[in-house]
Amino acid sequence: YDVLIAFNDDSYVLHSTDFAKTGVLLINGEPDKPAVMRHPELENNIVYHVPMERIARKEIGEPRSKNMVAIGATSALFGFERELLEANIRERFGKRSEKILEDNLGAFRAGFRYVEENIEKKDPYQLRAAKGEGFFVLTGNEAVALGAVYAGCRFFGGYPITPASEIMEVIAAELPRIGGAMVQAEDEIASMGMVLGAAFSGVRSMTATSGPGLSLMAELIGLASMAELPCVIVDVQRGGPSTGLPTKTEQADLALALTATHGEAPHVVLAPMMIQDSFTIMRTAFDIAEEFQLPVIVLTEQSLGFRRSDLPKSMLRDAEKWEFPPRSVPEPDEGARYYRYRLTESGVSPRAIPGMAGLQHVVTGLEHAEDGKPAYDPKTRRAMMEKRYRKLDGIIRKYTDVVRYGEENEKVDVGVIGWGSTAGPIKEAVDVARKNGIKAAGLVPRLLYPSPNEPIGEFIRSCKKVIVAEGNMTGQYARFLRSEFPGFDPEHFNSYTGMPIRYHDILAKIEEVA
């Protein structure tokens, strides 16, 4: 943190390992009892002492108002616009009693006034309102939900589960406004069945869950692959196994997502890197699902799902212009027979929707011939398996998407590969390492499966040594990359504490390897 606001010493100690060496500490306390006396490590930090609790008790008569005193003090220190914040306080508390509103406004003003009258600013930070169109604030889960709506999702079947329930709640509010529907099923299995029913009828459909729910959906994900039904499954990962850590983060569902179901079932796994990604990746997920007629799993995480970020308002206007690839629809041919699973070079067959004249067909989870009727002979089995897997070749050609940190095409000493929310810490660790004289670079793919091996291979070859950083104990992505690149032997950085990965931990690993 560049700035840490602590209501007591325990709060500072709890967050001190994440506090920047040159950070600014705003702590509840009297100036004549400086925190540096209790914490000598703060000697080089800028520390402001504001007696938040005393101000709240003396001027408001309510010690719990110290949080609003803190907001007032922070506003005065860093240049927040006082009028905007007072308007926000009125908006939040105006519907409650007059006393509650006045107490909160009074506490805010008291904190603001104390800083103006008693504190000399020593830090360089000023945070002014942005010019131009401005921003709005979303959590990662909210971004996923809105991204799905803009991507054309019109049916959501779901079952509440921490930490994914927020997606269902936002969808429930938004879909009915635009002619869509959300159904809360009796369990995750039923919700996935509903999604496939809606997909069969031609509606862009999805569900959202966490690791335990994804496990329950496994058989029906296989049905989606075999029946070639497009659908999107969002997994907001949490710590497992079993009930595990429902409110903590982890990246331990990758192995499950890569296999997804019993048998060999072509599907796609995507992972957003940040909150804006969580919005835009839903368009990619639905476009892939619809164009290639298969299930797409989006792996996000508790730390990403609950984090908040400011996003440009233009993001929504741009999304209103999204165009979707046309569905491959057969032309009715009088007297001819419709083959739902016609063998094609791309693996994608023209798809009829129930009710289209002359295009009646059978959809089944059994292995089948081109017309959809069950068929178990070796020739058909081989042809259909290869047909379904040919889709992955087209996906790799069209949707390969990786982000590199550091100079393009540069030979480096240490490279770091990660996925999902490790992107931010990797970027910052690489930036700091380079400033410290270490030739480092980072690579983060959004498409995890099928693997974009060409850019990943180029990156591996450009590094003397590679670290794979991820939020699980066993190095699931590192193991997967070993299977894709025989002889690849990366260093591991694995975090499985339930907490988000921090850049300085990755930086320490880069320095160790260098």
Q: pLDDT tens per residue, the chain (514 residues)?
A: 899 999 999 999 999 988 988 899 999 999 888 888 899 999 889 999 999 999 999 999 988 899 999 999 999 999 998 998 999 999 999 888 999 999 999 999 999 999 999 999 999 999 877 777 788 899 999 999 999 999 999 999 999 999 999 999 999 999 999 999 999 999 999 999 999 999 999 999 999 999 999 999 999 999 999 999 999 999 999 999 999 999 999 999 999 999 999 999 999 999 999 999 999 999 999 999 999 999 999 999 999 999 999 999 899 999 999 998 877 788 766 557 899 999 999 999 999 999 888 888 889 999 999 999 999 999 999 999 999 999 999 999 999 889 999 998 899 999 999 999 999 999 999 999 999 999 999 999 999 999 999 999 999 999 999 999 999 999 999 999 999 999 999 999 999 999 999 999 999 999 999 9
Could you tell me which residues come within 8 angstroms of residue 38 by beta carbon, excluding any fewer than 6 positions away? Answer: 9
Which structure tokens are listed for 81? 């616009």
pLDDT at 262: 95
Could you tell me which residues come within 8 angstroms of residue 95 by beta carbon, excluding any fewer than 6 positions away? Answer: none
Contact 406, 434 (CB under 8 A): yes
Q: What are phi and psi of 369, to 5 degrees?
A: -85, -175
Q: How far is CA 262 from the centre of its chain?
A: 26
Q: 64-80 as b/e, with b when 16 or more CB fall inside 10 Å?
A: ebbbbbbbbbbbbbbeb
Q: How far is CA 293 from the centre of its chain?
A: 24
Question: Rounded CA gap, 232 and 278, in Å?
Answer: 13
What pTM does this model have? Answer: 0.92
List the strands of the sheet with 463-470, edge to edge: 402-405, 440-445, 412-418, 463-470, 491-494
Question: Rounded CA gap, 146 and 318, in Å?
Answer: 13
Write the CA distances from 269 to 144, 203, 229, integer angstroms. 15, 21, 16
Q: Which is nearest to 493 in space by CA: 20, 432, 245, 477? A: 477
What single-letter DSSP state applies at residue 233? E
Question: Rounded CA gap, 400 and 405, in Å?
Answer: 17
Contact 38, 27 (CB under 8 A): no
pLDDT at 332: 60
Cis link prior to 163 (omega < 30° from 0)?
A: yes
* 455 phi-psi bin (left φ>0, alpha ψ -120 to 50, beta other): alpha
pLDDT at 91: 93
